[in-house]
Structure 1
Amino acid sequence: MLRRGWHSDIGLPAEAAPPDVAALFPGAEWLLFGFGDRDYVLATSPGLGTALAALFPGPGAILVTGLRVPPAKAFPERDCTGLRLPPGGEEGAAGFVAASIAGPPMRAGPYPGSLFLPARQSYSGTYTCNTWTAEALAAAHLPVTPEGVLFSWQITALAGALVASGYG
């Protein structure tokens, strides 16, 4: 789990990720997945109006970033928590990610080796990137309740509790 300011991502080893997505990133060892408001993340320079519009339900997007090193090495300045998943956890997380993707890439992302994919979920002020991350952790068979998770500090607290419970 990676926290980038107000945003969070999940990472999976490339071999555990959905195969059709992993095929888009040849040579990647890890894939990071993050959810966001489609209009906001695709805007050339999102302004206050775009940010405010994201509070209301609208199409989502998933940013996928292929990495040749583990996420903590690729983003050393960020809050990165490695979690040990229970049996079937990688498959559960990969299934959640695959079910979240609504089609082929829409365009390149902001990082080298990243792409935006359309999401099935709608983004809103009550279903954010952090809610999506919490759902991915729950799908990975971790003892997480996604309801009420809106902010990245909540994801960080969940990850800390998971580490303290032996999932670190």
Structure 2
Amino acid sequence: MRIYGFIKLFLILSLVSNLSCQGTKKPLYPPESNQIIKTIYVINQGWHTGVIFRYQDVNDSLWPAIEDFSDAKYVEVGWGDADFYQAEENTVWMGIKALFWPTGSVLHVVGFDRPVDQYFYGYDIILIELPDSSYDRLCRFIQQAYETDEEENPIPLGKGLYGNSQFYKARGHYFFTNTCNTWVAQAVREAGYPLRPEYACTAGNLFDQLREIG
């Protein structure tokens, strides 16, 4: 679609001015042979990226909001611009606003039972193995992305885009240097993988990095 090409162009150009450094996480990969290993999947849906977890692997004391999908085998989560992500039809103005004005954000969470490669057939998917401690850090990162009410409960915003899904109000502001793809890079980096979120503004940038370390 024209709007996606327009936004992608500006995201690529933004890399020139987005060279800020970030502190180094203690490397946790590759996992040592004596550690409990759990698997996540990073999915590239063409424009948007997300992270997929197996529900039974998640310690719900670290990510209590996942209990909304306790009947699912897998849970996919993504983060993005509140207006653009939830819109039934995207417009050029929405794309420009999302890029150049810091805007509110949402989480999109999907529960499903079919094997990952079947449910997301035709999409680019990368499997990542994590030690248990690293996986727990990632789950904490996801939980902390939810905006909460006065009683610290997640704030649901309505049905999501497909399947058994839900939007939630999220923390953080969307901007051309802080996209759904940089958010996924931050999440995987929190788990100990040496990604550079500042070089992951597009899905292609993110997956290039994942393939280098995979």
The answer on 1:8 being equivalent to 2:49 is yes
Greater mean deviation of Cα atoms: 14-23 or 146-155: 14-23
Secondary structure class of the residue paired with 1:135:
helix
Give the counterpart letter for 1:132 in structure 2: W
Give the counterpart letter for 2:163 in structure 1: P
Unaligned runs of 5+ in 1: 164-168
Contact 1:86/1:142 (8 A) holds in 2: no
Contact 1:89/1:142 (8 A) holds in 2: no
Once the two structures are superposed, what CA deviation does each residue of 1:111-158 show, in whole Å capped at 9, x if it has no partner? Answer: 110111111011111100000000000111222222232010011112
Secondary structure class of the residue paired with 2:176:
coil
Compute the displacement of 1:161 (Å): 1.5
The answer on 1:122 being equivalent to 2:173 is yes
Compute the displacement of 1:90 (Å): 1.3
Compute the displacement of 1:17 (Å): 6.2
What residue in structure 2 maps to residue 166 of structure 1? Answer: none
Aligned to 2:85, which of 13, 19, 41? 41
> TM-score when scaled to structure 2?
0.72
Residues 16-165 of structure 1: matches in 2 within 5 Å?
Answer: 16=58, 18=60, 19-55=63-99, 56-102=101-147, 103-163=154-214
CA pair 70-22 structure 1, distance change in 2 beyond 3 A: farther
Using the alignment, how far apart are the partners of 1:70 and 1:139 within structure 2? 26
Give the counterpart letter for 1:24 in structure 2: D
Compute the displacement of 1:44 (Å): 2.6
Runs of 4+ in 1 over 6 A off after TM superposition: none
> TM-score when scaled to structure 1?
0.90
Measured on the aligned residues, the alpha-carbon RMSD in Å equals 1.5
Unaligned runs of 5+ in 2: 1-41, 148-153
The number of residues matched between the two structures is 163
Secondary structure class of the residue paired with 1:27:
coil
Compute the displacement of 1:92 (Å): 1.2
Aligned sequence identity (%) = 25
